[in-house]
Chain A
Amino acid sequence: MASGLTVIFGVSRIVNFAHGSFYMLGAYLAWTLVTSLPRGHLGFWGGVLGAALLVGVIGLVVEMLLLRRIYRAPELFQLLATFGVVLVVQDVALLTWGAQDLLGPRAPGLRGSTEILGLRFPLYELFLIVVGPVVLGLLLLLFHRTRWGTLVRAATQDREMVGALGVNQRMLFTSVFFLGSVLAGLGGALQLPRESVNLHMDLAIITEAFVVVVVGGLGSLSGAALAALLIGELHAFGILVFPKITLVLVFLVMAVVLVVRPHGLRGKPQPAAHGVAAAEPMIGAAPRALKLAGAVGLALAVALPPFLGDYALTVLTEIAICILFAASLHLIMGPGGMASFGHAAYFGLGAYGAALAATWLGVPMLGGMLLAPVLAGIFGVVFGWFCVRLSGVYSAMLTLAFAQIAWSVAFQWVEVTGGDNGILGVWPDAWAAGKLTYYYLALALCLGGTLLLRRVVHAPFGYALRAQRDSALRAEAIGIDAFRIRWWGFTLAAVAAGVAGGLFAYGKGSVFPTYLAIPRSVDALLMVLLGGVQTLTGPIIGAIAYTGLQEQLMRLLEYWRLVLGAVIILLVLFFPQGLAGAARAMWERRHGDA
């Protein structure tokens, strides 16, 4: 129904977290304008439009200051930058509008309701039902009947070609971004008479918008409209039939659609890129200096902890676990060339595997830790089989869908998993209960796991993995079964994440559905991206930087999200290859190619 407005997200093809923030800002600004302008038609509609335009301007500023500088960076890196924007906007909104939910006035002239088929139906909803298709129609006209629209469509297909033809593509993309922001702001502002404005709006809408865009098919406006309709109906009727699983229903549908139609309902296969995409840089052996520094660091990690306090040990243990988790995601993202938005699923499954074994089977700690990767691996095999058949964003979204399904099972199956109250009392056996012992255990396992993953990348399997990433066609031609290689890579990453999850469960003493939730997947993505996708050191440095930073900020500052977001944005701007990537570039400049 009204989610027809989510159509707007189909326009901009950049994977953009900040769109949710623009939506929220639209609602907040509309609230401010509408309540401060005189009541009446002019005040309300003027406020709504004004808010949309203001959001457009904000979007413009963000694009010019931030995104424009990083269009050359890999797509996922733009994602990271927009995530920084999300964090900053959340705290800014909290500072500006306060914590309380705000309820805007209803639309003048549309307060009442009307009887349709004996059911009362609010007039405003009717109005939205009309607005959705009108906006859609206007957009279709704009994209198919104007010169600007043609240029935009051309540019999304092949930027360089359009540039070569003398079109100012910078202006073009800025204007697209402006339009997208205006529409997001408008969407938010139009929610004002329906819902209260609150600080959770941004992330609530963004997952749904992603789902709509992907189910519809990237870049297809009509597909997005169709998907929005489908999802809206699903919400309306789903709760009549299955009142308890509304959350997962959407993701189930998405999974089914993507399995059956890998490019969304109305999407076309992405046009093959011209020529051969530049192969990612080779990964060579580490230079000597690096080896030396690594050995020194390792010695420190083994020798120092006995002199540290318990708390420092807990943090170090957590960092060690995060390193393995990030390294496992890196295996599929870097050498594997597949993005995963749902890697937390395997981490959480590992944690649940360990916890369930401990509580239901009474297995001692080591048994639980053994079971953790097994469970994660089994699901890695099953989910992986579906995910690796797709490519790019579709594959990433399918991983997200599976992660959400796993999450909602953990959340809803109260008898077994304890629901959101989680499983408590998963503490290590007596011999490993000491913080120091547990730290060494975690260090050994994570170190071993990470080294193994590193070894894998240098092994023939790793070469095959990278070969299919750089050119699937050529890899097939020389007899590499790309599908099987990807599948095994995915499973291996799941197993490694499961080990990390099991360690985490025993380190915390409890397991909760949040272990499987989207924020944890995002954390992992951030770690890998922050460190740099195309270096083996990347995930390790990323994990340390991100975990350490967040931990310290959360402890010391009230507005930690603002600072964290700003730091991420700055890192993206100044180290577009990630921290490890930047370090390598510097090294290579000084010493010649490694």
Chain B
Amino acid sequence: MGEWSVARRLLLGGAAATLALPRLGRAQGGGAGGPIRIGEINSYSSQPAFLQPYRNAWTLAAEQVNAAGGIKGRPLETLHRDDAGKPEDAVRLAGELVNAERVALLSGGFLSNVGLAIADFANQNKRLFVASEPLTDAIVWGRGNAYTFRLRASTYMQSAMLVEEAAKLPAKRWATVAPNYEYGQSAVRWFKELLTRAKPDVQFVAEQFPALGRIDAGATVQALAAANPEAIFNVTFGADLTNFVRQGATRGLFERRSVVSLLTGEPEYLDPLQDEAPEGWIVTGYPWEQINTPEHAAFREAYRRRFNDYPRLGSVVGYDTVMAIAAMLKKASAVETEPMVAAMKGLQFQSVFGPVEFRAVDHQSTMGAFVGRTVLRNGKGTMAEWRYADGKNYLPSDEVVRTLRPQG
């Protein structure tokens, strides 16, 4: 017995020692005069297209906050971690940030399941978690908890914004196409439910659920065309969207049909399409070059100066997450979990898109999205006839929310 234990134990001991050492020097990190540490976890290596601009803007925002004197004299310090898209790694990293690095709060999350895993960790360990991106409704409703807040407009809100436009169309026969995971499924579910409520005579004649990132675009397009719908609701994004648009255009799927599409107006997904970007789709998105409100113009200019690039929607999310955290820290009576949670409830702050409030009832922010039609300008896709849809107008009433969210 014991051949195996040898190196095992030695290595374990060694590993443990290296793990334990850094803590000695860091013990002061959370002290009264030092920086306020934020632990940020995101899927940097698996979703770089969205998250690089996000991280850039995060850095920018933190620099701005610190240049303006920080929070009551204390600078912000962020520790970024890469979860590689795996919820189990995210949970481990959350443990590392909380226990070893002594961060004051957690933030981040891109994929819905990673967001939910961190939220559950936050609930179990009684830490504040400010979720930035995960769109799933479950994070504030079905599995909402006391310690989790979410910034981005949810799947429900964005679907509701699009239903408002879709109901104005004459189309009765609808087809849907969505990636086959929680986000796609719940977007289709809400869209169907809300549209049927608004227009009881609509029919859904076909639905396609290609695997995320693995769409067989030609086959999907043919299957949709075979049902001969009058309008299509699209939820695919990223590489799937690109392939779907290209195949759909060559096979004439979009001719004489209306298309309503979630997230397609975001530069992350519209720009790769270049001059093949579809025209006349009703989308939610972010027409960064046309929004000239003072807040947005200042943000765009600062971002351009710092990174020599234009902001994506990810940049807005990253920037606003830091600004929301900063506003919360200014309001909170102490940098401890309970006062910070209390400060988050009903927190109002000035986002890049305008004033936003974190609702006390379900911890969802009222950050909105832009709804408009896609057009081609100078060989690039962009949005026209857009308007800002304020999130607070697209959330169910407080009574409904209470039935959706576990109370107590």
Chain B residues lying within 8 Å of A555, measured Cβ to Cβ, are 81, 93, 96
Q: Of residues 423 to 477 in A, which have CB atoms within 8 Å of B's CB atoms?
A: 424-425, 427, 450-451, 454
B67 within 8 A of A: no
Of B19, B91, B208, B246, the residue contacting A315 (CB under 8 A) is B19
Q: Decide if B9 touches A113 in the complex (CB within 8 Å).
A: no
A196 within 8 A of B: yes
How many CB-defined contacts (below 8 Å) exist between A and B?
Answer: 282
Chain B residues lying within 8 Å of A579, measured Cβ to Cβ, are 7
Of A111, A298, A420, A450, the residue contacting B9 (CB under 8 A) is A298
Size category, A interface: 35 or more
Q: Decide if B6 touches A554 in the complex (CB within 8 Å).
A: no
A239 within 8 A of B: yes
Docked Cα-Cα span, A304 to B11, in Å, equals 13
Select from chain B the residue with minimum beta-carbon distance to A286: B3
Chain A residues lying within 8 Å of B216, measured Cβ to Cβ, are 235-236, 239, 246
Known: A103-B242, A122-B250, A309-B23. A294 touches B9 (CB 8 A): yes
Q: Decide if B8 touches A545 in the complex (CB within 8 Å).
A: no
Of A111, A296, A509, the residue contacting B91 (CB under 8 A) is A509
Q: Decide if B12 touches A544 in the complex (CB within 8 Å).
A: yes
Q: Decide if A311 touches B100 in the complex (CB within 8 Å).
A: yes
Size category, B interface: 35 or more
A295 within 8 A of B: yes
Select from chain A the residue with minimum beta-carbon distance to B111: A420
Scoring B13, B15, B214 by chain A CB atoms within 10 A of each residue's CB, the highest score goes to: B15
Q: Decide if A290 touches B6 in the complex (CB within 8 Å).
A: yes
Interface hit among B70-78, B271-279, B280-288, B336-344: B271-279
Select from chain A the residue with minimum beta-carbon distance to B50: A99
Q: Decide if A293 touches B7 in the complex (CB within 8 Å).
A: yes
Chain B residues lying within 8 Å of A293, measured Cβ to Cβ, are 2, 5-7, 9-10
Q: Decide if B95 touches A311 in the complex (CB within 8 Å).
A: yes
Q: Of residues 191 to 245 in A, which have CB atoms within 8 Å of B's CB atoms?
A: 194-196, 198-200, 204, 235-237, 239-240, 243-244
| Contact residues of A: prevailing secondary structure | helix
Docked Cα-Cα span, A204 to B216, in Å, equals 12
Docked Cα-Cα span, A119 to B45, in Å, equals 41
Chain B residues lying within 8 Å of A106, measured Cβ to Cβ, are 246
A108 within 8 A of B: no
Of B16, B185, B207, the residue contacting A312 (CB under 8 A) is B16
Chain B residues lying within 8 Å of A536, measured Cβ to Cβ, are 3-4
Interface hit among A74-82, A135-143, A510-518: A510-518
Docked Cα-Cα span, A125 to B138, in Å, equals 41
Q: Decide if A540 touches B117 in the complex (CB within 8 Å).
A: no
Interface hit among B82-90, B157-165, B319-327, B387-395: B82-90
Interface hit among B195-203, B217-225, B298-306: B217-225
Select from chain A the residue with minimum beta-carbon distance to B17: A304
Docked Cα-Cα span, A6 to B84, in Å, equals 28
Of A99, A309, A540, A580, the residue contacting B100 (CB under 8 A) is A309
Q: Of residues 274 to 332 in A, which have CB atoms within 8 Å of B's CB atoms?
A: 285-287, 290-301, 304-305, 307-312, 314-316, 318-319, 323
**Which B residues are within 8 Å of any A CB, using their own CB?**
1-13, 15-16, 19-20, 23, 44-45, 48-49, 51-52, 81-82, 84, 86-89, 91-93, 95-96, 99-100, 112-113, 116-117, 120-121, 124, 136, 138, 143, 180-182, 185, 207-211, 213-214, 216-220, 222-223, 225-226, 238-239, 242-243, 246-247, 250-252, 268, 271-274, 276
Nearest 8 A-B pairs (CB), nearest first?
A297-B9, A294-B5, A286-B3, A99-B48, A294-B2, A293-B6, A311-B100, A310-B99
**Which A residues are within 8 Å of any B CB, using their own CB?**
1, 94, 99-103, 106, 111-113, 119-122, 124-125, 194-196, 198-200, 204, 235-237, 239-240, 243-244, 246-247, 285-287, 290-301, 304-305, 307-312, 314-316, 318-319, 323, 411-412, 414, 419-422, 424-425, 427, 450-451, 454, 504, 508-510, 512, 514-515, 519, 536-537, 540-541, 544-545, 548, 551, 554-555, 558, 560-561, 579-580, 583
Could you pull out 8 A-B pairs where Cβ atoms are within 8 angstroms? A103-B272, A196-B239, A312-B100, A314-B99, A315-B92, A315-B96, A508-B88, A540-B4
Given A298-B2, A301-B9, A304-B13, output 13 extra A-B contacts at Cβ < 8 Å: A194-B243, A236-B216, A290-B5, A294-B8, A296-B9, A298-B5, A300-B13, A308-B19, A315-B19, A421-B182, A508-B92, A509-B120, A541-B11
